[in-house]
Chain A
Amino acid sequence: MLKEYTCIMCPRGCDIEANIEDDLRLVSTEGAGCPKGLSYLRQELADPRRNLATSARVLGGSMPLVSVRLTGPIPKARIGEALAVIQALRLKAPIQAGQVLIENLNGLGTDVIATRQVPAAGSPEARR
C-alpha cells in the first residue's frame, strides 16, 4: 500500500511516499532528503513518538509559569498522561534553566526539564 508521510525531523518537511506491507513492513520509500527521513518513517510505523513542550505552575516566581520540555520523545499515546503529571506540578521559585523537574517521567526514560529560569519574585535576577 502506498502512503504519504511528512517527515517532522526538520523544517524541510520532506514528503515521503512509502510502500508499506501489512501496515508495518517498509518495502520502499521515495522523497526523503536525508537518512533521518527513513529512520523517522521506521519509528513512525513501529512506535510513533513525540516530544512535549508545555509549561508548569511556579509559586513565588517573577512569572507564574516555567516553560518545560521532555529530554526525549515518548510514545504518542502517552502524551496525555505526561501532560497530566506536568500540569499537577506546583514548583517553588527560583528555578534554573535546564533544571530537572521530574526524573524519568512515569518510567518513560525521559526527564522533564525547565527551559528557562524563573527567579524569585522581587529578586535582582528578575530584571536581568
Chain B
Amino acid sequence: MKKEVVIIGGGPAGLAAAVKLRERGIREIVILEREENLGGILRQCIHDGFGLTRFRESLSGPEYARRFIERVWALDIPYVTEASVIGLGADRHVTAATRNGLIEYEAEAVVLAMGCRERTRGALAIPGERPAGIYTAGIAQAYINLHNMMIGREAVILGSGDIGMIMARRLTLEGAKVKGVFEILPYPCGLPRNVTQCLDDFGIPLHLSHTVVDIKGRSRLEGVTVARVDESLVPIPGTEYEIPCDSLILSVGLIPENELSLGASVVLDPRTKGPEVDEFFRTNVPGIFAAGNVLQVHDLVDFVSLEAEKLADAVARHLAGGLPPRGGVELSGDGTVGYVLPRRVGGAEDFTLSLRVKRPFRNCEIRVTQAGHLVKSLRLRKAIPAEMIRIPIRAADLAGAGAPAAAGAPASAGPLEVGVLC
C-alpha cells in the first residue's frame, strides 16, 4: 500500500504529528499503534499536571491524549491499532503485523514516534535472588491504573525519576507503605515539584547517594539491602542496612526505543540514544524523521507535542520538495552538558536547541558559541539534569547568516559549541 506518511506509534508524538500533517493538507497518512487504543503511555498516567504549557490548564494524561485523539477522529485520519511494526527498511518499506495479517506500506516519509522504554534490573545488574515483586515504575503504574491490580503492601523505590516519585504517591494513596526512595546520585533525578508533592507531602523519605546492593526472597521479595555510595557511586562497605519489603520499584531511567530505526540503518547519537537528527528532525536516512521520546527523553508531554508538530512542518515541506539538503554546521556540548540536539543544522533557519546539563548548577549562564563568537546566552537561577533546557536560536545570529540555504555547503564559521558557565 502506498502512503505519503507512515507514522509509527500512536502516542503523544505520533498523534500530534498526524494532526499537524493533516492540517497542512497531507491526505495519505496512517498511524500504526501496537496497543488496543491510541494514546501511548498517557493512558496510564492518570495524575494531573499535563498540558500547562499547551492548554494552560492542568490535565490528566488520558485527558491530554484525548484532546489529540478527538482531532484525529474529527480529521478522519486513518489509524490501525494492535498493529506491531516488525520491519522498517532504509527504502521506507514498513511491515506491520495486525489482526488482519501482515500489512506492507511503501511510504514517501516515515515518522519514528515509538517513544521509549524503561531501564530494568538487568540493565543495572543488581545482585541477589530473583523473586517476584520487582517492577519497573511504568509496569507498576499499568498494573495499578489500568488493570486494578495492587502490586504489594510495602515498597522500596530505587531511583528518583519522575515516574518513581509519582508511583510513590500513588502506592501511598492506594494504602501501601512506601519505605523510602533511594537515589544513587547526590541530587534527585526528577522534577523538584515531584519531590514536594509526591514525597514530602506524604512523608516519604528520599535518601540521596544510596543504592540497593542486594535483593532477598525466594518466591516473593522479602527485603532489600541498601548502602551509601561514595563520590564515584561505589557502595561504601559498612553502610549497608536491610529493609523488609515485598516490592521493589525501579525508576532508573528511560531509553528511546530504536530497534526499528537501527534496522533501517538510522544512526543513533550515543548520548541521547535517539536518532542523530538535524533541525528538521531528519535522520541520516532520507525520508525518515523522528520526534518525541524516541528522539530524546522529555520531562513534559507538552514539548513532545510541540516537537512532533515541528517535525510535521518539516515532513510536509519534504513531501513538497521544499527542504534544503542536510546542513553542515555541527553542534556539540562540552563537559558541562549531557547532550545537545539537533547535532547538525544548515544555519539558514531558526531552530530550537534542546539540551540537558550534566550536573546541577546555580546562577549559571548557558553559552552557545561559534568560533569563539557568542551566538546566544541564557542566564538561569538553576539548571538541573532533570529539566530539559530549550533555547531558541535565530539564524540571523549565526555566522555566515544570509548565505543561500540551498547550497548546503558547510558554513565557514564552523561548529556550534554549548557550555555552562558558573
A interface residues with partner B (beta carbon < 8 Å): 5-8, 10-15, 31, 33, 50-55, 57, 63-65, 67-69, 76, 83, 97-98, 115-116, 127-128
Chain A residues with CB under 8 A of B381 = 14-15, 31, 33
Binary flags per residue of B243-283, CB closer than 8 Å to A gives 1, else 0: 00000000000000000000000000000000000000000
Interface SS of chain A: loop
Inter-chain contact A6/B201, CB cutoff 8 Å: no
Inter-chain contact B196/A54, CB cutoff 8 Å: no
Q: Does B179 interact with chain A (Cβ within 8 Å)?
A: no
Chain B residues with CB under 8 A of A63 = 146-147
Please measure, in the bound complex, the distance between the C-alpha atom of A63 and the C-alpha atom of B37, giving whole angstroms.
12
CB < 8 Å neighbour of A127 from B81, B174, B193: B81
Inter-chain contact A69/B193, CB cutoff 8 Å: no
Please measure, in the bound complex, the distance between the C-alpha atom of A8 and the C-alpha atom of B382, giving whole angstroms.
16
Inter-chain contact B148/A13, CB cutoff 8 Å: no
Please measure, in the bound complex, the distance between the C-alpha atom of A128 and the C-alpha atom of B147, giving whole angstroms.
18
Please measure, in the bound complex, the distance between the C-alpha atom of A63 and the C-alpha atom of B195, giving whole angstroms.
31
Please measure, in the bound complex, the distance between the C-alpha atom of A97 and the C-alpha atom of B60, giving whole angstroms.
11
Min CB–CB distance B350 → chain A (angstroms): 23
Chain B residues with CB under 8 A of A14 = 381
Show 21 residue pairs from A and B whose CB-CB distance is below 8 angstroms, ordered by the A residue. Answer: A6-B192, A6-B193, A6-B196, A8-B193, A11-B49, A11-B300, A51-B48, A52-B173, A53-B46, A55-B145, A57-B148, A63-B146, A65-B148, A67-B60, A67-B145, A76-B201, A97-B62, A97-B63, A97-B66, A115-B63, A116-B66
Please measure, in the bound complex, the distance between the C-alpha atom of A127 and the C-alpha atom of B66, giving whole angstroms.
15
Inter-chain contact B173/A54, CB cutoff 8 Å: yes
Please measure, in the bound complex, the distance between the C-alpha atom of A65 and the C-alpha atom of B43, giving whole angstroms.
12
Chain B residues with CB under 8 A of A128 = 37
Chain A residues with CB under 8 A of B60 = 53, 67, 69, 115-116
Top 5 nearest A-B pairs by Cβ distance? Answer: A13-B192, A67-B46, A116-B62, A64-B148, A13-B193
Please measure, in the bound complex, the distance between the C-alpha atom of A33 and the C-alpha atom of B379, giving whole angstroms.
13
Chain B residues with CB under 8 A of A52 = 173
Binary flags per residue of B155-192, CB closer than 8 Å to A gives 1, else 0: 00000000000000010011000000000000000011
Q: Does B197 interact with chain A (Cβ within 8 Å)?
A: yes
Please measure, in the bound complex, the distance between the C-alpha atom of A10 and the C-alpha atom of B37, giving whole angstroms.
29
Chain B residues with CB under 8 A of A83 = 173
Q: Does B126 interact with chain A (Cβ within 8 Å)?
A: no
Chain B residues with CB under 8 A of A8 = 193, 196-197
Chain B residues with CB under 8 A of A65 = 145-148
CB < 8 Å neighbour of B201 from A50, A64, A97, A98: A50
B300, B381, B387, most chain A CB atoms within 10 A: B381
Q: Does B36 interact with chain A (Cβ within 8 Å)?
A: yes
CB < 8 Å neighbour of B48 from A13, A57, A69: A69
* Total A-B residue contacts, Cβ distance less than 8 Å: 84
Chain B residues with CB under 8 A of A64 = 147-148
Please measure, in the bound complex, the distance between the C-alpha atom of A127 and the C-alpha atom of B58, giving whole angstroms.
27
Q: Does B121 interact with chain A (Cβ within 8 Å)?
A: no
Q: Does B371 interact with chain A (Cβ within 8 Å)?
A: no
Residue of A nearest to B148 (CB): A64
Min CB–CB distance A6 → chain B (angstroms): 4
Please measure, in the bound complex, the distance between the C-alpha atom of A87 and the C-alpha atom of B118, giving whole angstroms.
30
Q: Does B52 interact with chain A (Cβ within 8 Å)?
A: yes
Please measure, in the bound complex, the distance between the C-alpha atom of A6 and the C-alpha atom of B192, giving whole angstroms.
7
Give 10 new A-B contacts, CB below 8 A, not counting A50-B197, A116-B66: A6-B193, A10-B52, A11-B49, A11-B300, A55-B46, A55-B144, A63-B146, A65-B146, A65-B148, A69-B48
Please measure, in the bound complex, the distance between the C-alpha atom of A115 and the C-alpha atom of B201, giving whole angstroms.
24
Please measure, in the bound complex, the distance between the C-alpha atom of A127 and the C-alpha atom of B83, giving whole angstroms.
13
CB < 8 Å neighbour of B62 from A7, A51, A67: A67
A67-B145, A127-B81 known; A53-B193 Cβ under 8 A? no
A51-B58, A97-B66, A116-B62 known; A15-B192 Cβ under 8 A? yes
Min CB–CB distance B357 → chain A (angstroms): 15
Please measure, in the bound complex, the distance between the C-alpha atom of A127 and the C-alpha atom of B59, giving whole angstroms.
23
Chain B residues with CB under 8 A of A50 = 197, 201
Chain B residues with CB under 8 A of A55 = 46, 144-145, 148
Min CB–CB distance A113 → chain B (angstroms): 9
Inter-chain contact B48/A11, CB cutoff 8 Å: no
Min CB–CB distance B163 → chain A (angstroms): 14
Chain B residues with CB under 8 A of A98 = 63
Q: Does B299 interact with chain A (Cβ within 8 Å)?
A: yes
Min CB–CB distance A32 → chain B (angstroms): 10
